[in-house]
Amino acid sequence: MQYQFQSEQGDFSFRPRIFTAAIKILIGANIVIFLLKIISQNPATPFFNPVVDLFGLSSSAVWPRIWQPFTYLFIHKDFLHVFFNMFVLWMFGSELESIWGRKAFLRYYFTTGVGAGLVWLLLNLSNANHTLAGASGAVYGILLAFGMMFPNRTVYLYFLFPIKVKYLVMFLVATEFILSMNTTSDISHITHLSAVAIGFIYLRYFWRWKDIRFSIRKYVSEFGLTIQHQKETRRAKLQQEVDQILDKINVVGYDGLSKEEKETLYATSRKLYHNRQKD
C-alpha cells in the first residue's frame, strides 16, 4: 500500500470496476443491516429502533457494548443516507482497493471510521441521549485518500460541474469545518473532520514508520551478517594456524615442535572445538 501526491494533469474521473472485494463486502453488509433496521422498526415506537440501540454508538451504552465503535459504521438513518455513503464509497474506494489491496484498504477504512467514532465519543461523554450512526466518517477518509493520491484527477460535482479532486476535498473539509460551528445540527461534522485528520496522519506518517522499521530490521540483519562473517574469518585463521602446525608434526613429529607451537596448537584447538559446540 503506497500513495502518491501527484497524478497526470487533466485526468478525468476513472471507470471503477463494478465491485472490488472489500467494497462488495462493505456495501452488502450496510444494505443488509439497513434492511434489518427497517424490518425491526416498531410503528408504535418511531423514535426507538433495536438495531440502532444495539449497534449505534452511544456514550450511555458503549459499555458493555464495546463493539459499537465498529458497528456504528453500518447503521444509517434512511435510504438517502445509506445510498450516498455507499455510492461515494464505491466511486472513490474501488480504485483505492485496486491499488492497495483488500486488507490494506479495509485497514485504512476502519482506522478512519473507528478512530473518528472514538473522537466523537470522547467529545460526547456527557451527551447520553445522542447516538452516532453511519459510515460518513470512513467515507470522508476515503475521499481524503483519493485526493492525496490523485489530486489532479477530474470528477463531476453533481454529475455536472468538472472539478479536480484536490479542490473537491478542500471544499468539503472547509464546508464541514464551517458547519461544525452549528451545534444544533443532527449531522456529526466533527466525525467527518476527525476522519480526515486521522486519514491524513495515517497516510502521511504510517509508511514513514514502516520505512523506519524496515531500516531497523535491515540494520540488525546486516549487523548479524557482519558478526557472522567476522566469526568465520577468525575461525578460518585459527584453522590455518592449526593446519600449519599439523603439517610440521607430519614432518618432524610432535616432539619437534617448539614450546610456543605446542601452546598455540592446544589453545587454538580448544577455541575451534568451543566454537563448534556453540554453533
Long-range contacts of 67-70 (CB under 8 A, 24+ apart): 68/117, 69/114, 69/117, 69/118, 69/121, 70/110, 70/114, 70/117
All 3 cell numbers of residue 23?
Answer: 467494497
How would DSSP label each residue in 135-157? SHHHHHHHHHHHHHH-TT-EEEE
All 3 cell numbers of residue 81?
Answer: 443516507
For residues 93 and 144, state if they share a domain.
yes
Residue 64 resides in a domain? yes
For residues 95 and 171, state if they share a domain.
yes
The pLDDT value recorded for residue 12 is: 44
CB atoms within 10 A of CB 249: 14
The pLDDT value recorded for residue 231 is: 80
* pTM as predicted: 0.69
The pLDDT value recorded for residue 278 is: 52
For residues 77 and 94, state if they share a domain.
yes
Domain that holds residue 258: 217-278
Residue 4 resides in a domain? no
The pLDDT value recorded for residue 151 is: 87
Residue 15 resides in a domain? no
C-alpha separations of 130 from 71, 85, 134, 223 in Å: 16, 21, 13, 56
For residues 195 and 246, state if they share a domain.
no
The pLDDT value recorded for residue 182 is: 67
Answer yes or no: are the C-beta atoms of 53 and 130 closer than 8 Å: no
Rounded Cα distance, 96 and 93, in Å: 5
pLDDT tens-digit profile, the chain (279 residues): 443 333 444 444 444 556 789 999 999 999 999 999 999 998 888 888 999 999 999 988 898 999 999 999 999 999 999 999 999 999 899 989 998 899 999 999 999 999 999 999 998 888 777 889 999 999 999 999 999 888 888 887 767 788 888 888 888 888 887 877 666 566 788 899 999 999 999 988 775 655 555 556 666 677 777 778 788 888 888 788 778 878 877 877 777 778 787 777 777 777 666 655 455
For residues 62 and 108, state if they share a domain.
yes
The pLDDT value recorded for residue 8 is: 42
For residues 211 and 80, state if they share a domain.
yes
Q: Is the peptide bond before 64 cis (omega within 30 degrees of 0)?
A: yes
Q: Which residues pair with 163 in a beta bridge?
A: 155
For residues 211 and 221, state if they share a domain.
no
For residues 253 and 183, state if they share a domain.
no
Answer yes or no: are the C-beta atoms of 179 and 187 closer than 8 Å: yes
The pLDDT value recorded for residue 188 is: 80
For residues 81 and 191, state if they share a domain.
yes
Count structural domains, the chain. Answer: 2
Answer yes or no: are the C-beta atoms of 92 and 146 closer than 8 Å: yes
For residues 169 and 249, state if they share a domain.
no
The pLDDT value recorded for residue 212 is: 55
Residue 230 resides in a domain? yes
For residues 236 and 101, state if they share a domain.
no
For residue 186, the domain's CATH number is 1.20.1540.10
The pLDDT value recorded for residue 106 is: 95
Boundary of a domain, candidates 200, 215, 230: 215
For residues 31 and 167, state if they share a domain.
yes
